[in-house]
């Protein structure tokens, strides 16, 4: 099993089993030990590689235990402190890690609840664990760019110098990305004032800031959509014919078993695929590529809606776009096991980004058994 396969398999297990896990001990057995063994490749039953319940007396603190210590050549390399699945992770939970970090040879510490992992080192002061992690990842929402960094912690690839040297850059990149994500999702007044100062000649009163909030939100969404579309055009070919050949435009049919038995009808000349619908499709595809390969996302246009499907399968609807109404536009997502449609009113195709989480969740529900590989660069 490859490193990416191990991550995918564990993520599928977490999605399937997390609802039934109620204790820290169960979390360790179900999710954290498999991460150490199946993903990182350490033998959890070999005390020369993994020591559970490591005891290292610290000052007046006697008999405290750290959940796991990963060893190499008889020395502690990685400390792991575990919490129950779903429990939030914060510095209060890392108190034991701080203490143990100072009295062992470890330079890597991990705080985890089995789904989210926070990885620390001592970049700010030698032998003192940093207060902020240099790497944070969620196995159910994994940023593919961090996969090589996780792999550096594995038995096969472990390289302490490489991990530590990359830690500072990773820490600040991660922090900046989280700041940007928060500002895009819920813009602060300071963020809005930054744009007001550069785009508005008058005084930046609170009223002006409030007026600009919606403008900044729309401009940001449109800019992201433009960048995504440019990248898709570059990847798929600038000519419309290239894009058309990459997706299939055939009449959509209701999600119905009986319909599946009917032959595919001849394309209806009354069905016209608009530029706006193609823009919407490109946005959906851009959202979907975090879960599956782009070529697996296709569309079928119909008179009443524009359907986006996984694997060109009517039983796997991703979203339906209703963009031809004169005054009302909306999209339909499919968020439960019965694939019941949920309506979301929108103003422009850019608003499709507002249902990105639902799109990804729907694709994961179809793709969970196939465990599509994570691209490791």
Greater pLDDT, 240 or 173: 173
pLDDT for the residue 59: 53
Greater pLDDT, 208 or 172: 208
pLDDT for the residue 232: 62
Task: Evaluate whether residue 227 is within a structural domain.
Answer: no
Task: Evaluate whether residue 112 is within a structural domain.
Answer: yes
Domain co-membership, 131 together with 8: yes
Rg (C-alpha) for the chain, rounded Å, is: 25
Domain co-membership, 71 together with 153: yes
Domain stop point among 181, 201, 217: 181
Task: Evaluate whether residue 191 is within a structural domain.
Answer: no
Greater pLDDT, 370 or 336: 336
Structural contact between residues 372 and 291, judged by C-beta atoms closer than 8 angstroms:
yes
> Residue with structure tokens 């994961």?
364
pLDDT grade, residue 43 (50/70/90)? very high
Domain stop point among 181, 196, 229: 181
Domain stop point among 123, 153, 181: 181
pLDDT grade, residue 265 (50/70/90)? very low
In sequence order, what are the residues at sequence separation of 6 or more whose Cβ sits closer than 8 angstroms to the Cβ of residue 268?
251, 303
| pLDDT value at 299 more than 50 | yes
Domain co-membership, 254 together with 154: no
Degrees to nearest 5, angle at CA 327 with 323 and 333:
40
Domain co-membership, 17 together with 113: yes
Task: Evaluate whether residue 201 is within a structural domain.
Answer: no
Domain co-membership, 70 together with 147: yes
Q: How many CA atoms lie within 13 Å of 167's alpha carbon, on the beta-carbon side?
A: 23
Structural domain boundaries, residue 144: 3-181
CATH code of the domain containing 162: 3.90.1570.30
pLDDT for the residue 159: 76
pLDDT for the residue 235: 55
Domain co-membership, 310 together with 172: no
pLDDT grade, residue 241 (50/70/90)? very low
| pLDDT value at 369 more than 80 | no
pLDDT in tens, 178-211: 888 888 888 899 999 889 888 888 888 888 888 8
Task: Evaluate whether residue 195 is within a structural domain.
Answer: no
Q: Report residue 246 as tokens.
A: 């990459």
Q: For the whole prediction, is pTM greater than 0.85?
A: no
Domain co-membership, 262 together with 124: no
Average pLDDT, rounded, for the chain: 80
Task: Evaluate whether residue 129 is within a structural domain.
Answer: yes
Give the closest residue to 187 by CA, choosing from 225, 222, 219, 229: 219
Domain co-membership, 42 together with 165: yes
Greater pLDDT, 307 or 166: 307
> What does the DSSP 8-state code read for residue 263?
P
Task: Evaluate whether residue 374 is within a structural domain.
Answer: no
- Interhelix angle 189-199/206-236, rounded to 10 degrees, is 80
Task: Evaluate whether residue 58 is within a structural domain.
Answer: yes
Q: Report residue 347 as tokens.
A: 């103003």
pLDDT for the residue 306: 93
Domain co-membership, 177 together with 325: no
Domain co-membership, 8 together with 155: yes
Strand 108-112 relative to strand 75-82, pairing: parallel
Domain co-membership, 153 together with 274: no
Sheet holding 341-346, edge to edge: 297-301, 306-310, 317-322, 329-334, 341-346
Domain co-membership, 166 together with 252: no
C-alpha distances in Å from residue 336, one per residue of 18, 317, 339, 357: 18, 12, 5, 13
Q: How many domains does the chain have?
A: 2
pLDDT grade, residue 123 (50/70/90)? confident
| Chain mean position to CA 276 | 27
């Amino acid at each position: 099993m490859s490193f990416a396969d191990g991550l995918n398999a564990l993520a599928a297990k977490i999605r399937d089993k997390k609802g039934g896990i109620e204790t820290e001990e169960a979390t360790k057995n179900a999710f954290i030990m498999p991460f150490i063994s199946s993903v990182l490749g350490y033998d959890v039953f070999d005390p020369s590689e993994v020591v559970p319940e490591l005891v290292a007396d610290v000052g007046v603190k006697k008999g405290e235990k750290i959940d796991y210590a990963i060893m190499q050549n008889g020395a502690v390399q990685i400390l792991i402190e575990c919490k129950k699945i779903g429990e939030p992770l914060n510095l209060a939970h890392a108190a034991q890690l701080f203490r143990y970090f100072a009295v062992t040879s470890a330079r890597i510490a991990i705080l985890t609840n089995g789904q989210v992992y926070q990885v620390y080192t001592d970049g700010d002061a030698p032998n003192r664990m940093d207060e902020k992690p240099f790497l944070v990842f969620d196995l159910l929402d994994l940023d593919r760019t961090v996969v090589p960094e996780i792999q550096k912690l594995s038995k096969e690839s472990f390289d302490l110098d490489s991990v530590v040297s990359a830690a500072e850059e990773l820490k600040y990149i991660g922090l900046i990305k989280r700041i940007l994500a928060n500002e895009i999702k819920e813009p602060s007044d300071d963020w809005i004032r930054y744009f007001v100062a550069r785009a508005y000649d008058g005084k930046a009163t609170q009223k002006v800031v409030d007026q600009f909030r919606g403008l900044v939100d729309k401009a940001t969404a449109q800019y992201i959509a433009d960048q995504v579309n440019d990248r898709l055009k570059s990847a798929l070919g600038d000519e419309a014919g290239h894009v058309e050949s990459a997706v299939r435009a055939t009449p959509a049919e209701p999600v119905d078993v009986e319909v599946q038995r009917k032959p595919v009808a001849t394309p209806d000349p009354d069905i016209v695929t608009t530029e706006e619908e193609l823009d919407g499709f490109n946005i959906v595809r851009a959202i979907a590529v975090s879960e599956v390969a782009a070529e697996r996302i296709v569309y079928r246009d119909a008179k009443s809606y524009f359907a986006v499907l996984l694997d060109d399968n009517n039983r796997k609807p991703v979203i339906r776009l209703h963009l031809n109404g004169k005054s009302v536009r909306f999209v339909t997502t499919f968020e439960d096991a019965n694939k019941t449609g949920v309506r979301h009113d929108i103003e422009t195709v850019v608003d499709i980004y507002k249902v990105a989480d639902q799109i990804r969740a729907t694709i994961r529900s179809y793709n969970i058994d196939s465990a599509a590989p994570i691209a490791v660069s």
